[in-house]
Amino acid sequence: MAPSLDFSNWWPKDARKGTPVVVKMENPNYSVVEIDGPDAAFRPVEKSRGKNAKQVTWVLLLKAHRAVGCLAWIASFFWALLGTIKKRLIFRQDVAMASEKLGKGKLLFTVIKAFLVTSLTILAFEVVAYLNGWHYFRNPSLHIPRSTDIQGLLHLVYVTWLSVRADYIAPPIQALSKFCVALFLIQSVDRMILSLGCFWIKYKKIKPRIEGDPFKSDDVEGSAYEYPMVLVQIPMCNEREVYEQSISAVGQLDWPKDRLLVQVLDDSDDESIQYLIKAEVAKWNQKGVNIIYRHRLVRTGYKAGNLKSAMSCEYVQAYEFVAIFDADFQPNPDFLKQTVPHFKDNPDLGLVQARWTFVNKDENLLTRLQNINLCFHFEVEQQVNGVFLNFFGFNGTAGVWRIKALEESGGWLERTTVEDMDIAVRAHLNGWKFIFLNDVKVLCEVPESYEAYRKQQHRWHSGPMHLFRLCLPAIITSKIAIWKKANLILLFFLLRKLILPFYSFTLFCIILPLTMFVPEAELPVWVICYVPVFMSFLNILPSPKSFPFIVPYLLFENTMSVTKFNAMVSGLFQLGSSYEWVVTKKAGRSSESDLLASAERESKIMNQLQIQRGASESELSELNRLKEQKEAAPVPVKRVNKIYRKELTLAFLLLTASVRSLLSAQGVHFYFLLFQGVTFLLVGLDLIGEQMS
């Protein structure tokens, strides 16, 4: 007997009303009619009620088609996701990498990949355990079965993992966390002492002062000799965006023209940029500024080699001081009058350092966070060390050196990428003193893109460790006081250059995420929350307008410790990237307060006529050719700058790990665990892709 196909229950029926009446007909040729009520026969006929087997088949086929389409969409989605990951890891956003470069994986990122795989495996066990109600090892309600009670292999594996975690994994993590917490507290005490010293300087209004008017003389004929001979150097390399601003600012310095010489030290390998810089130098030379252009064919030693080559010129012997400005720095016209007089009647003074101020500090979130760090560096670290120790690290620019101090300290050396810190340490070992002027500010730029910022931070953190290896014997055998040696070794190098990135990376980027999978190694709340927030408040005090960004600052600084730790290790052990110099990309921002530069540009047409009158035909043809090349140069397009996803995801990872440690007792451990696993996966993929690129 064929099965009956009753599809009547597939469609809803109206509720029956009234008493059903059945009418039977004796004639078999008539159909049986069932009437539900007295008005049923007069209702309109519903065509949809007449479903047959053919229509039902079409409905089933339609549903099957939709199901197959959904599966195909899911398959295409996962295929596209895998393709994106492949591009991210191998091609780095459609840019093919050489096969030999892909094989050069660094140890740090190999460890990160291994840690990523292990973490995801443990995460799978944690999810299954939570769904089965096993929870934690120390849960009193957790039933640990005996060998006779084991119901499945997965349960046995999980219980074994709990035992191994509690007996073998948690103890070393706890020991390492205690060591890092001790370093964290030492560094926090150092920051607090520096902040208290800054408050004392503000309260007592302590700052270097110039007694009287150093340029005033009763002898009118000999008054010009009150101005010492000053050499100004502008080292640059392929600085198309900012060369004009820096040369223009230095050309307007308020100093006697016959006692000032400007050296434009160009290491550019792009001929078009060389022509543009030559044209700018020629323009200011025609205006009466004593300025010369120097170009090296071989860029050996980077910036240190450039400065060393310039100082070897014979005419430099006639000058007493040298001021150095990087290509993006724009000093005020009175810069030399605010700095050079401090050398008068102070023969032990070797360096006068001015403070940086940033024209693009409000450009994006990255520039705001950099402004917080650099404001604390200058106003707190540099100022306190300058007032109480007469020593700090030279910033490489916006400073004036006594040439005698440079020569007696050995001059510029090409052995590291932090030639500024190198010469400062050697000058300090030779007994020279430094002065920091917090009131004298020089306009400059901070990197607006993460790539430029990361490369800058790599150089700033790998160079000091490389220098520490080279300078340690000289520091130990020097004749300076023991407390000065201790300050150089323990505070200047170890605490602020080595310990800081080490504990930041280990404590907040390794141990804190590990607490997701090893609850026995839980960190105290004051380590996760209270002390870091308090230290962040101290860091933001020099820039009070940045208080709304305290949370992104705290998270981003911890995530950047990955880059800083990698750089520190490469510098300490002299790995391949420890002597890598990449010029920081500039955007060429101009300041609204730079009125003199804007007025100079407005009068460009008027000055061009004077230049042509005093130039020969060959010079005019050269200037016209350079002008045409400058006009034909492509106009730089402003790029949209964003902080990379890995920094934000790792920041949220640390934040949720902290919150999870506070709320795990309330039963929300599982949800934070899932979120942390996803974010950690994104972080691992981005870090691997960055390393391969």
pLDDT in tens, 322-359: 999 999 999 999 999 999 999 998 999 999 999 999 99
Q: Which long-range contacts (CB under 8 A, 24 or more apart) does 523-529 make?
A: 523/177, 523/181, 523/661, 524/181, 525/661, 525/662, 527/181, 527/184, 528/658, 528/661, 528/662, 529/658, 529/662
Domain match, 426 and 539 both? no
Q: What is the mean pLDDT of residues 176-204?
A: 94
Domain match, 400 and 544 both? no
Q: What is the DSSP string of 248-262?
A: HHHHT--S-GGGEEE
Could you give phi then psi for residue 266, rounded to 5 degrees? -100, 120
Domain match, 441 and 460 both? no
Domain match, 288 and 358 both? yes
Q: What is the structure's pLDDT at 558? A: 78
- pLDDT, one tens digit per residue, over 33-67 is 444 444 444 444 444 455 566 666 676 777 777 77
- Report yes or no on 72 lying in a domain: no
Domain match, 413 and 491 both? no
Active-site choice (267, 326, 328, 422)? 267
**Is it the case that residue 221 has pLDDT exceeding 80?**
no
- pLDDT, one tens digit per residue, over 154-168 is 777 777 888 888 889
Q: What is the mean pLDDT of residues 454-458?
A: 87
- Report yes or no on 155 lying in a domain: yes
Closest CA to 370 of 584, 594, 690, 532: 584
- Report yes or no on 254 lying in a domain: yes
- pLDDT, one tens digit per residue, over 576-633 is 666 777 777 776 666 544 444 444 544 543 444 344 444 444 555 555 665 555 555 5
Q: What is the structure's pLDDT at 27? A: 47
Q: What is the structure's pLDDT at 628? A: 59
Number of domains in the chain: 2
Active-site choice (326, 328, 420, 686)? 420
pLDDT over 90 percentage in the chain: 38
Q: What is the number of H-type helices and E-type strands within the chain?
A: 25, 9
Query: Do the bridges between strand 230-236 and strand 321-324 make them parallel or antiparallel, or are there none, so unpaired?
Result: parallel
Domain match, 404 and 497 both? no
**Is it the case that residue 267 has pLDDT exceeding 70?**
yes
Q: What is the DSSP string of 524-535?
A: PHIIIIIHHHHH
pLDDT over 70 percentage in the chain: 67
Contact in structure between 399 and 348 (CB atoms under 8 Å): no
Q: Which long-range contacts (CB under 8 A, 24 or more apart) does 219-226 make?
A: 224/256, 224/258, 224/259
**How far is the first Cα of the chain from the last one, in angstroms, to the nearest whole number?**
71
Q: What is the mean pLDDT of residues 276-294?
A: 94
pTM of the model: 0.69
Domain match, 245 and 350 both? yes
Say how far apart CA 486 and CA 451 lie, in whole Å: 36
Q: What is the mean pLDDT of residues 505-529?
A: 83
Confidence bin at 15 (pLDDT 50/70/90):
very low
- Residue 129: enclosing H or E segment and its boundaries? helix 107-131
Q: Which range, 141-155, 244-258, 498-512, has the best average confidence (pLDDT)? A: 244-258
Domain match, 373 and 311 both? yes
- Report yes or no on 607 lying in a domain: no
| Ranges 114-123, 376-385, 671-680: which has the least confidence | 671-680
**Is it the case that residue 429 has pLDDT exceeding 90?**
yes
Per-residue DSSP letter, 395:
-
Per-residue DSSP letter, 226:
G
What is the separation of C-alpha 253 from the centre of its chain, rounded to a whole number of angstroms?
34
What is the separation of C-alpha 271 from the centre of its chain, rounded to a whole number of angstroms?
32
Say how far apart CA 542 and CA 373 lie, in whole Å: 9
Q: What is the structure's pLDDT at 253? A: 95
Domain match, 513 and 469 both? yes
Domain match, 352 and 421 both? yes
Beta strands (DSSP E) in 359-457 are 399-402, 433-444
Domain match, 286 and 400 both? yes
CB-count burial class (<10 Å; 0-12, 13-18, 19+) for 280: buried
Contact in structure between 685 and 88 (CB atoms under 8 Å): yes
Residue 221, token pair as written in the block: 């004929």
Cα atoms found within 13 Å of the Cα of residue 542, Cβ hemisphere only: 28
Q: What is the structure's pLDDT at 229? A: 95
- Strands in 433-444's sheet, in edge-to-edge order, are 291-295, 260-266, 230-236, 321-324, 399-402, 349-358, 433-444
Q: What is the number of other CB atoms lying within 10 angstroms of the CB of residue 352?
A: 26
Closest CA to 254 of 275, 286, 227, 234: 227
Q: What is the mean pLDDT of residues 489-512?
A: 90
Residue where one domain finishes, among candidates 446, 479, 495: 446
- Report yes or no on 40 lying in a domain: no
- Report yes or no on 667 lying in a domain: yes
Residue where one domain finishes, among candidates 446, 461, 478: 446
Average pLDDT of every residue of the chain:
76
Per-residue DSSP letter, 223:
G
Planar angle of CA 125, 130, 134, nearest 5 degrees: 95
Residue where one domain finishes, among candidates 446, 474, 489: 446
Say how far apart CA 421 and CA 395 lie, in whole Å: 7
Closest CA to 181 of 508, 434, 417: 508
**Is it the case that residue 89 has pLDDT exceeding 80?**
no
- Report yes or no on 20 lying in a domain: no
- pLDDT, one tens digit per residue, over 387-417 is 999 999 999 999 999 999 999 999 999 999 8
- Residue 353: enclosing H or E segment and its boundaries? strand 349-358
Say how far apart CA 77 and CA 56 lie, in whole Å: 32
Closest CA to 313 of 292, 327, 340: 292
Q: What is the structure's pLDDT at 548? A: 84
Q: What is the structure's pLDDT at 10? A: 44
Per-residue DSSP letter, 183:
H
Contact in structure between 538 and 426 (CB atoms under 8 Å): no
Q: What is the mean pLDDT of residues 291-299?
A: 89
Domain match, 404 and 523 both? no
Task: Check if 420 is active-site.
Answer: yes
- pLDDT, one tens digit per residue, over 71-87 is 777 777 777 766 666 66
Confidence bin at 317 (pLDDT 50/70/90):
very high
Domain with 403, as residue range(s), is: 230-446
Residue 291, token pair as written in the block: 């300025």
- Report yes or no on 370 lying in a domain: yes
Residue 316 is part of a domain; what is its CATH number? 3.90.550.10
* Selected residue with higher pLDDT from 65 and 25: 65
Closest CA to 632 of 106, 375, 279: 279
